[in-house]
Amino acid sequence: MSAFDDILADDAALFTDADGFPGVESFTYWPKGGTPKTVSGPVTRDALELQGKYGIAIRAIVVFVSVADVPSVNSPGDAVTIAFDYGKTAERMPVKQILQQDAGGFTLLIG
Q: Which of 107, 104, 105, 106 is nearest to 6 (CA)?
A: 104
Ordered by start, the domain boundaries in the chain are 3-110
Kindly report the average pLDDT of the chain as a whole number: 82
Global confidence as pTM: 0.77
pLDDT of residue 65: 93
pLDDT tens, residue by residue, 25-59: 899 999 999 999 999 899 988 767 666 677 777 77
CB 69 within 8 A of CB 37: yes
Q: Which of 28-42, 53-67, 72-86 has the lowest mean pLDDT?
A: 53-67
Peptide bond before residue 22 is cis, with ω within 30 degrees of 0: no
Q: What is the amino acid identity at position 1?
A: M
pLDDT band at 8 (very low <50, low <70, confident <90, very high): low
pLDDT of residue 1: 57
Decide which of 4 and 37 is more confident: 37
